[in-house]
Chain A
Amino acid sequence: MKAQPFIVDQHRVESLGRELVERMARQDQAALQEFYARYSKLIFSFVLKIVRSQAEAEEVVMDVFWQAWQQAGLYSQSRGSVSSWIITIARSRAIDRKRYLERQNIGDSIEISEVIGQADNAVTDPEADPEVNLYLLERREAVLGAIAQMGDKQRQAIELAYFSGMSQSEIADLLKEPLGTVKTRMRSALQVLREKLERYI
């Protein structure tokens, strides 16, 4: 079966992203603005999913883009795509923050789950380039499609690992399942991602 053609030239958008990061490394503030317009909605949504508090998410996102601004010079293509780079910074900071909050709230875990902003379903940002908006939209559809192909237990395992930062043995404890079972599920989930999304990376 032949894959459908992309709506948007993924590589072109990605290479424009690399140019933005290179300009950021040269302290170009306009590039940071464009970079922010491009990724802020994705990153905010992602961080909010991890920390589950609007106020905390705002602080983390602020720090994520600040870190990207500071470390733009360290980015090199060998580290992977620009989107994966910024997502990885966001994940690392958000999970750190989430764990910190959990330690602060030992015994009353309710406090961190403040009211979360309403999901608005508009993936795109009117400020950003229309081509970038389409790029984000297309990726989101593809990822949701891939996740829908996973079995419930595979999805659960990979989401716990990715969004909660749990190790596979922690997941096994949580679900009261053998570690081997969790590992197999994780691997199957990753295989689904590879099969469905390889062309996006």
Chain B
Amino acid sequence: MKQCEFTQEQREHFILSYLTGDLPLLEKEQLESHLSECSCCRQGLAQSQELLSLLAYSSPVVSPPDSIRVRLLERVASKDKKAIASNVVKMSVSAKRINWRRYAWQIAASILLAMFIIQSYYLFDSNAKLKQQTKDQENRIAKLENQLQQKNEQIESMVKSTRLIVLDGKEVMASGRAFWNTNGNSWMFYFEKLPPAPKGKTYQLWFMTNLRPISAGAFQTNADGTIQLHVKTPSETPIVGTAVSLEPEGGSEKPVGTIYLLGFV
């Protein structure tokens, strides 16, 4: 075996300089070529890295919040696209549009991630200057990854917790869809082709429980017959359906006019 030209002291000095990024580029390259030939110095380097990494154990101990674990596992699970896709197919057109965006994000992020994985694997902080250039890129990617993940989380929780209720009726050509966010306890209604209410009349939105209808408020449509309403879930449950009726101006305590739209949960 070839004898190493360095003394123990020299070796320790250059290993430390190498690890702390103190070696100029030329010396660094010379050292790396020496390391590739000298198992003694390679071992010295590996041992020093192991020893230094033990310093991490001296950090004051703080428990991580459980949210990190939850988010990590969600992120890992969200790679299983098929499971989510089958969930989404049941959703309406507008939900599909969101879903498409989700994949665009994912594709963009996975390309960036792949680039990132290829360029990153350094054991120690060997050359601060070279790393500076990749850092901005890395930070951009990290930001994108975070954004992607937040969006995924938002969308996933929307998909998981949203129920679609279709409303229809025989009186007019109107139609409606309700998205019930069971987590946030709110409802989003989209009505179309509801003719403007005649003078002295108003539309009224109802939730139906097994016992009685509960008013969610009176409304007028836009000129084009559309309207979008955001409503909180009433405290009385369970909700079995939702309806729109035409009532005298000011609204009614319970529906007395014609039911225009009706949908069941």
The residue in chain A whose Cβ has the minimal distance to the Cβ of B80 is: A29
State whether A29 touches B76 (Cβ < 8 A): yes
- The answer to whether A166 has its CB under 8 Å from any CB of chain B is yes
Whether A168 contacts B56 in the complex (CB less than 8 A), given A40-B64, A40-B69, comes out as no
Chain B residues numbered 9-59 whose CB sits less than 8 Å from any CB in chain A: 9, 12-13, 16-17, 19-22, 46-59
The residue in chain A whose Cβ has the minimal distance to the Cβ of B71 is: A62
Whether A88 contacts B135 in the complex (CB less than 8 A), given A69-B76, A119-B62, A201-B50, comes out as no
State whether A41 touches B61 (Cβ < 8 A): yes
- The answer to whether B211 has its CB under 8 Å from any CB of chain A is no
> Interface size bucket, B side?
35 or more
Number of A-B contacts (CB under 8 A): 182
- The answer to whether B128 has its CB under 8 Å from any CB of chain A is yes
State whether A147 touches B65 (Cβ < 8 A): no
Q: What is the bound-complex CA distance between A55 and B172, given in angstroms? A: 54
- The answer to whether A81 has its CB under 8 Å from any CB of chain B is yes
With beta carbons under 8 angstroms apart, the residue of B9, B63, B113, B128 that contacts A167 is B128
State whether B22 touches A143 (Cβ < 8 A): no
Digit string of B135-148 for contact with A (CB within 8 Å is 1, else 0)? Answer: 10011001001100
Q: What is the bound-complex CA distance between A29 and B69, given in angstroms? A: 12
> Interface size bucket, A side?
35 or more
Whether A162 contacts B55 in the complex (CB less than 8 A), given A62-B72, A190-B16, A201-B50, comes out as yes
Q: What is the bound-complex CA distance between A87 and B60, given in angstroms? A: 15
State whether B58 touches A143 (Cβ < 8 A): yes
State whether B65 touches A58 (Cβ < 8 A): yes
User: Helix, strand, loop or mixed for chain A's interface?
Assistant: helix
Q: What is the bound-complex CA distance between A186 and B55, given in angstroms? A: 13
- The answer to whether B111 has its CB under 8 Å from any CB of chain A is no
18 contacts between A and B (CB under 8 A): A36-B69, A41-B64, A42-B59, A44-B68, A45-B60, A49-B60, A61-B68, A63-B145, A80-B49, A83-B53, A88-B49, A91-B56, A96-B131, A97-B139, A159-B55, A166-B20, A201-B47, A201-B50
Interface, chain A (partner B; CB < 8 A): 29, 32-33, 36, 40-46, 48-49, 57-59, 61-63, 65-67, 69-71, 74, 79-81, 83-84, 87-88, 90-92, 95-97, 99-100, 116-123, 125, 136, 139-140, 142-144, 146-147, 158-159, 161-163, 165-169, 183, 186-187, 190-191, 193-194, 197-198, 200-201
Interface, chain B (partner A; CB < 8 A): 9, 12-13, 16-17, 19-22, 46-65, 67-69, 71-73, 75-77, 113, 117, 120-125, 128, 131, 135, 138-139, 142, 145-146
- With A36-B69, A84-B53 given, can you name 15 additional A-B contacts, CB distance below 8 Å? A40-B68, A44-B62, A45-B60, A63-B145, A66-B72, A84-B50, A96-B138, A100-B135, A142-B54, A143-B54, A147-B55, A166-B20, A183-B16, A187-B12, A193-B52
